[in-house]
Every structure is written in C-alpha cells, then in structure tokens.
Amino acid sequence: MSKIDILIPLAGKSLFFDDKSYPFPKPLIDVDSTPMIQLVIERLLKLTHINKFIFIVNNEDCKKYHIDNVLRLLTEDNCEIVKLDNETKGAACSALMAIDYLDKDRQLIICNGDQVIEENYNDIIDFFQNNIFDCGVATFESVHPRWSYVRLDENDNIIETAEKRPISKSAIAGFYYFKDGYLFIESAMRMIEKDANVNGLYYIAPCLNELVLQNKKLGAYKIDNDRYFSFYSPQKIKTYESR
C-alpha cells in the first residue's frame, strides 16, 4: 500500500476573525485552550501509512509568529513547509504550490486546517480504497451556499461538484482524497485552463469535475452533522467548546 501525503493550506485570509480581537493567525487561535491547527494535526496523526505533511503558509506568519516552528514541532519535523509571499487566486492555486512534493506513487489528502471531523480517518481511507475510488470526499448534510457540494448518482458515485452553490444536500466537509498526487495536479491545472473560477478564485471542489469528465470513479463518505465541526467563525468555536 502506498503512503499518504497530507496537504493542508493555511495561507488563506480569515473573513470572520478581526485582527484586534484575534491578533494571531487563524491556525494559532485557541479552541478548547489548544491551537486550532494542533487539534487538526493530532487527529490526522492517527492515520496509518503517513508519508509526510505539507503545509502552505504565509511567509509573514513565519516571520512574526514562527508558525513554521509550530508545525514542525506538531509533526515531529515530518513536514514540508511552502511559504508564500503573496496571496494566490484560491485554495487550488495555493495547493499547487506544493507540486514539487507530490508524487504519482503516493496517495494524497487535502484537508482544511480549521475543522475537526470526529471520525476514524483510517475508516474513511479504507472506504475509498476498498471501493477502488480514484478520488473521494467526506460529506455532511447542508443546503447553505457557503459550502461546496457534490451530486451523487443512484450508486452514490460523484457525478458533479459545485463551489458555493448547493446542487444537492451533500456538502463537502473539507476533506479530499486522491489515489495519487498527480491526479490532483492534472485536474487542478485543467480546471484553471478552463478558467473555472468562482468570483475570481479557484477552489479544490471544481477539480473533481475534470476527473468526472475522464470517467474516473469518485465517491463520498457520509459523516453525521454532529461529528463535523468547522471553525470558520468565532461563534462556531464557541459552539464546539460548549458541547
């Protein structure tokens, strides 16, 4: 079984966290008295067959807050850190900055850095592998346009994805699986060539449409809503802490 690279983009701006109330970068904001990114990494470390973590970060956050040191400590130095000096045109573009560290012989997970999924990640990966999926996502139920979505056929295979547009009740829980790193690279580049942007930004979810067009097999692992926590706003952190 090939090993797994885990790619976590951390360079995006936080829309709901103002600098005055939250002076540290979002990954370092405390959730239950623990830096948010520590919660994320500690759950992912339970995965078997990890090759390494890859983080996309702002160079300024490294200079001012030493977030690169934090990430190396949390992963016991088993990580690559890509530092960006400027904003990119979205999560897909940021993830592509890690192109030198991805491989056709290793599986790839792309995961949000501001969420907790209370599932056994090994079960999720086993589901994708046992069903011989080329690509897969974790999903939960929603209809709000803040999320990305998948449409499923009668066999629960993904036949379409959309960003910030509900096309079903299956919202993507910020967790993407690719059977190898090149699948992501090639699909993201085709998406960008087609200029498939949303409000000028390129996201991960629309990459999957390129795989659908290639007749790749894509699946969804369904998560109960009470096991998915996204910390996109201060209120969501409070909700998680008050459980």
Output the pLDDT for position 22: 86
**Residue ranges in the chain whose pLDDT is less than 70:** none
Model pLDDT for residues 51-83, shown as the tens digit of each residue: 999 999 999 999 999 999 999 999 999 999 999
CATH number of the domain at 156, please.
Answer: 3.90.550.10
* Domain range enclosing 67: 4-242
Beta-carbon contacts of residue 9 (< 8 Å; ≥ 6 apart): 55, 56, 91, 94, 95, 110, 112, 113
> How far, in Å, CA of 61 to CA of 57, rounded?
7
Provide the pLDDT for residue 162: 98
Average pLDDT value for the chain? 96
165 φ, ψ (degrees, to nearest 5) = -150, 110
**What percentage of the chain exceeds 70 in pLDDT?**
100
Give the model confidence (pLDDT) of 112-148 as tens digits. 999 999 999 999 999 999 999 999 999 999 999 999 9
Number of domains in the chain: 1
The distance of Cα 142 from the centroid of its chain, to the nearest Å, equals 18
Q: How far apart are CA 8 and CA 22, in angstroms?
A: 21
CA 208 to chain CA centroid, nearest Å: 13
